[in-house]
C-alpha cells in the first residue's frame, strides 16, 4: 500500500506543466498541458491548435470558403446543407436565444455597425437609425431542417456570426480531444474563455482570479475550477458617454442599444460555449434579470460587478474576497 502511494506520487511529480501562447481565431490563446516532458507537451498542444484551426475554418464568417459564409451568401435565397457539427452548434445557439429572450442572438451579425467605440463618435445615433440597424436581426428567422441538415436565413442580407460563442466552442472541442488523447490535465484559455480539466502537478485545483475592473492590479477573489469553464466579459475598455450615461460595446441585438450598468460578468459553467453565450446575455439582460435567469439554471454560477464597483453573485456561489 505504501509502495503504491509512493509510485503514484513519483509519477505525478515527474510531470511538467507546459504553456504556449499564440494567435488563433483572431484572438490570443494560451494552451497549457500537464505532460511527462516538453516533447510530449508540444505534441499535445499541436493537436489542440489543429483542432481550433479546423473549427475556425468551419464557423468563420470572414472566410469566404466557410460553410457559415455560404449560409450568409444565400440569405433569403435558399437553404444551405452543412456539416452536422455546424448544424448542431447553430441549433444550440438558437436554444440559448430562447433561454435568454433574444439577449443572445447569432444573427447579431446582420446589425448595422452604427456605434463606434474608438473615440470618433461625437453624438448618439438617432432613434430611427438605431431601430433600422436591427431590422434583419432575429433568431426566429433562422430555419433549421433536421432531415436535410440545412440552414436557411429568411431575410435577404441577414447574417449569422459566432463572435460570442465561437472561441468557447473551440476551447471545448480542443479540451475534449486532448482528454481523448490521454492528456490528464490542462487549460485552454481563449482570450478569457477558460476551460480546465484535471489538476496542477502539485495536486491542487486550477484557480482563476476575479479581477477588479476598476483596478486591474487587484483581484476580488481567487476561485478554484474543477473540470469546468469560466468566462469573463468586461466592457470597461470600449465605451462612450452621452448625457451622463455610459454606453458599452456589448449591444442588445433586440433593440440596437448598447448595454449599460455593468462592467464585468463572470460565468461558471460545465462548457465554455455556454459560459461564453451567457456572459454576453447577462450584460444585455442586466443585473436583476440576468441573475434571476442564472439562478434557474443547474450547474451554472455568475459573478457581476456593476459600474459602481459593487459585486453581486448568483445563489450558489460563495466568495472569500482577497
Residues 30-79: tens digit of each pLDDT? 999 999 999 999 999 999 999 999 999 999 988 999 999 999 999 999 99
Query: What residues does 29 pair with on adjacent strands?
Result: 22, 190
Q: How confident is the model at residue 4 (pLDDT cuts 50, 70, 90)?
A: very low
The sign of the CA dihedral 269, 51, 56, 75 is negative
| CA 227/CA 301 separation, integer angstroms | 14
Question: DSSP for 241-309?
Answer: EETTEEEES-B-TTTSPBP-SEEEEEEEESSHHHHHHHHHHHHHH-HHHHHHHHHTSTT-EEEEEETTS
Instruction: Please check whether residue 267 is in contact with residue 228, taking contact to mean a CB–CB distance below 8 angstroms.
Output: no
What grid cell was written down for 265?
460578468
80-124 pLDDT per residue, tens: 999 999 999 999 999 999 999 999 999 999 988 888 877 788 888
pLDDT at 233: 82
Burial of 70 (0-12, 13-18, 19+ CB in 10 A): middle
Cα atoms in the 13 Å half-sphere on the side-chain side of 226? 4
| CA 124/CA 153 separation, integer angstroms | 30
Q: Which residue has the higher pLDDT, 249 or 287?
A: 287
Query: What residues does 28 pair with on adjacent strands?
Result: 23
pLDDT at 237: 63
What residue ranges define each of the domains in the chain, with the CATH number in brackets? 15-61+163-193 (3.10.520.10), 67-153 (1.10.3980.10), 205-322 (3.10.520.10)
pLDDT of 312 strictly over 70: yes
| Whether pTM exceeds 0.85 | yes
Q: Say whether 25 sits in a helix, a strand or coil.
A: coil
56-70 pLDDT per residue, tens: 999 998 899 999 999
pLDDT of 127 strictly over 60: yes
157 DSSP 8-state letter: T
Instruction: Please check whether residue 220 is in contact with residue 321, taking contact to mean a CB–CB distance below 8 angstroms.
Output: yes
Q: How confident is the model at residue 319 (pLDDT cuts 50, 70, 90)?
A: low
Distances (CA, A) of 43 to 35, 86, 217: 10, 27, 34
Amino acid at each position: 500500500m505504501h509502495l503504491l502511494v509512493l509510485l503514484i506520487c513519483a509519477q505525478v511529480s515527474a510531470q511538467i506543466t507546459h504553456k504556449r501562447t499564440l494567435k488563433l481565431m483572431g484572438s490570443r490563446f494560451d494552451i497549457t498541458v500537464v505532460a511527462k516532458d516538453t516533447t510530449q507537451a508540444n505534441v499535445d498542444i499541436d493537436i489542440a491548435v489543429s483542432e481550433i484551426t479546423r473549427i475556425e475554418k468551419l464557423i468563420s464568417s470572414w472566410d469566404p470558403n466557410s460553410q457559415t459564409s455560404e449560409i450568409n451568401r444565400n440569405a433569403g435565397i435558399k437553404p444551405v446543407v452543412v456539416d452536422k457539427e455546424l448544424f448542431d452548434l447553430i441549433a444550440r445557439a438558437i436554444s440559448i436565444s430562447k433561454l435568454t429572450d433574444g439577449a443572445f442572438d447569432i444573427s447579431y451579425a446582420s446589425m448595422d455597425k452604427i456605434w463606434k467605440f474608438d473615440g470618433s463618435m461625437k453624438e448618439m445615433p438617432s432613434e430611427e437609425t438605431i431601430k433600422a440597424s436591427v431590422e434583419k436581426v432575429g433568431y426566429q428567422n433562422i430555419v433549421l431542417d433536421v432531415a436535410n441538415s440545412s440552414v436557411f436565413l429568411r431575410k435577404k442580407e441577414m447574417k449569422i456570426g459566432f463572435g460570442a460563442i465561437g472561441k468557447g466552442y473551440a476551447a471545448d472541442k480542443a479540451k475534449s480531444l486532448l482528454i481523448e488523447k490521454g492528456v490528464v490535465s490542462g487549460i485552454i484559455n481563449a482570450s478569457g474563455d477558460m476551460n480546465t480539466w484535471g489538476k496542477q502537478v502539485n495536486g491542487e485545483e486550477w484557480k482563476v482570479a476575479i479581477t477588479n475592473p476598476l483596478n486591474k492590479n487587484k483581484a476580488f477573489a481567487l476561485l478554484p475550477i474543477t473540470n469546468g469553464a469560466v468566462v469573463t466579459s468586461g466592457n470597461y475598455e470600449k465605451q462612450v458617454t452621452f448625457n451622463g450615461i455610459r454606453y458599452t460595446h456589448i449591444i442588445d441585438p433586440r433593440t440596437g442599444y448598447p448595454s449599460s450598468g455593468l462592467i464585468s460578468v463572470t460565468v461558471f459553467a460545465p462548457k465554455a460555449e455556454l459560459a461564453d453565450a451567457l456572459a454576453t446575455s447577462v450584460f444585455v439582460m442586466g443585473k436583476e434579470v440576468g441573475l434571476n435567469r442564472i439562478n434557474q439554471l443547474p450547474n451554472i454560477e455568475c459573478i457581476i460587478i456593476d459600474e459602481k464597483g459593487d459585486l453581486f453573485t448568483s445563489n450558489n456561489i460563495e466568495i472569500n474576497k482577497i
